[in-house]
């Protein structure tokens, strides 16, 4: 890797104009300057170019004429990148100005394929944006595949990947059938074959608002996590033998989320079955509490009186 590698900052957008200028400004304000900013417009119904004004001259703009899944849109954006390193900034998130300067030195180790850090959750309280630290403890690094199976703790807006870690086959980049777990599956694949480095600093802001796609339909994320398993088995055939404990937790969380979805649509019997399966996979206080809630809803109504 060169001393100052080119970093491709990829911003994917679909009709996201409310916070887009703030995101682009944070990318342009990096103290590390050897960057290219790629804005990939996923068939927006609004004029994205007009909405970003003078920033258009400082970035590379590409547009898809047909709407793509998020996975396919991210892959299409990557095909336009020239950097040795790739980082992703969603149109409603923010990079802190020293993000790249802090993370890029980790790639001196040629075995490192991914670098991430802590981030702020930025949410509105009393009409003001408030920052809350996502992780309160130092997160795992080095060989983290087993830990990552339990849950995706890598904030997408902080991740940088070495482009050469991507397969020559675009099919194994971001899953083009997915809209929610695209990053999780790719991070698992990279962490299986390469070292992961963690910078124990807050280097970004992840905006939480009513239009967050992943928060509007969380049950679909659960379904995608279940569908990820065959793809993981492709590069880790011994998944259920070598990582039984982690996969028990993985499946427990999947069925717990399915239970929440069925309860949301008033299918209580299916919700209970899903939570029981969750308990069978991994017995813990959280799923027991939820099962109790579903079995005895009248108790919860009594508490509200």
For residue 297, pLDDT beyond 90: no
CATH of the domain at 111: 3.90.550.10
- Please check whether residue 150 is in contact with residue 246, taking contact to mean a CB–CB distance below 8 angstroms: yes
Share the mean pLDDT of the chain: 88
Q: Give the span between the Cα atoms of 216 and 92, in whole angstroms.
A: 15
Give the end-to-end CA distance of the chain in Å, rounded to a whole number. Answer: 64
pLDDT value for 298: 41
Would you say residue 281 lies in a domain? yes
Residue after which a domain boundary falls, among 209, 235, 253: 209
Would you say residue 1 lies in a domain? no
pTM: 0.86
- Residue 219 CB-density burial (10 A; 0-12 exposed, 13-18 middle, 19+ buried): middle
78 and 199 share a domain?
A: yes
174 and 289 share a domain?
A: no
Strand, helix or coil for residue 67: coil
Query: In this predicted model, what pLDDT tens digit does every residue of 37-83 receive, in sequence order?
Result: 999 999 999 999 999 999 999 999 999 999 999 999 999 999 999 99
228 and 280 share a domain?
A: yes
191 and 272 share a domain?
A: no
226 and 123 share a domain?
A: no
Most confident range, picked from 97-106, 118-127, 285-294: 97-106
What's the alpha-carbon Rg for the chain, to the nearest Å?
Answer: 20
pLDDT value for 281: 83
Provide the pLDDT confidence category of residue 300 given band limits of 50, 70 and 90: very low
Pull the structure tokens for residue 165. Answer: 């870690």
Question: Cβ neighbours of residue 206 under 8 Å, at least 6 residues apart?
Answer: 93, 119, 120, 121, 122, 134, 155, 156, 157
143 and 53 share a domain?
A: yes
Number of compact structural domains in the chain: 2
Q: Which stretch of DSSP H or E encloses residue 64?
A: strand 60-64
Residue after which a domain boundary falls, among 209, 234, 253: 209
Would you say residue 146 lies in a domain? yes
264 and 140 share a domain?
A: no
For a pLDDT cut of 70, what percent of the chain falls above it? 89
Structural domain harbouring 260: 218-304
For residue 181, pLDDT beyond 90: no
52 and 128 share a domain?
A: yes
Would you say residue 109 lies in a domain? yes
Strand, helix or coil for residue 40: strand
Residue after which a domain boundary falls, among 180, 209, 238: 209
Provide the pLDDT confidence category of residue 268 given band limits of 50, 70 and 90: confident
Angle (nearest 5°) at CA 80 between 216 and 22: 50
Taking residues 115-124, what's their average pLDDT?
Answer: 92
């Amino acid at each position: 890797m060169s001393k100052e590698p080119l970093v491709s900052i990829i911003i994917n957008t679909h009709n996201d104009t409310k916070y887009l200028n703030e995101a682009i400004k944070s990318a342009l304000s990096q103290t590390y300057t050897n960057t290219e900013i790629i804005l990939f417009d996923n068939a927006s119904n609004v004029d994205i170019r007009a909405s970003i004004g003078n920033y258009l001259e400082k970035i590379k703009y590409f547009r898809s004429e047909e709407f793509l899944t998020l996975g396919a849109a991210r892959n299409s954006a990557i095909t336009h990148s020239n950097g040795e390193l790739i980082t992703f900034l969603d149109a409603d998130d923010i990079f802190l100005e020293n993000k790249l300067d802090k993370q890029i030195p980790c790639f001196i180790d040629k075995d490192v394929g991914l670098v991430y850090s802590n981030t702020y959750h930025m949410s509105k309280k009393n009409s003001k944006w408030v920052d809350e630290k996502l992780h309160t403890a130092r997160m795992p690094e080095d060989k983290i595949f087993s830990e990552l199976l339990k849950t995706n703790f890598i904030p997408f807006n902080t991740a940088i990947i070495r482009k050469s870690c991507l397969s020559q086959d675009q099919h194994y980049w971001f899953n083009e059938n997915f809209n929610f777990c695209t990053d999780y599956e790719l991070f698992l694949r990279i962490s299986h074959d390469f070292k992961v480095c963690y910078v124990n600093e807050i280097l970004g802001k992840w905006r939480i608002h009513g239009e967050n796609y992943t928060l509007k339909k969380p049950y679909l994320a659960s379904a995608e996590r279940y569908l990820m398993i065959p793809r993981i088995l492709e590069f880790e055939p011994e998944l259920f033998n070598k990582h039984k404990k982690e996969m028990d937790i993985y499946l427990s969380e999947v069925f717990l989320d399915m239970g929440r979805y069925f309860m949301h649509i008033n299918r209580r019997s299916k919700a209970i079955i899903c939570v029981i399966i969750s308990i069978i996979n991994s017995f813990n206080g959280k799923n027991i509490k939820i099962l109790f809630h579903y079995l005895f809803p009248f108790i919860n109504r009594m508490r509200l009186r």
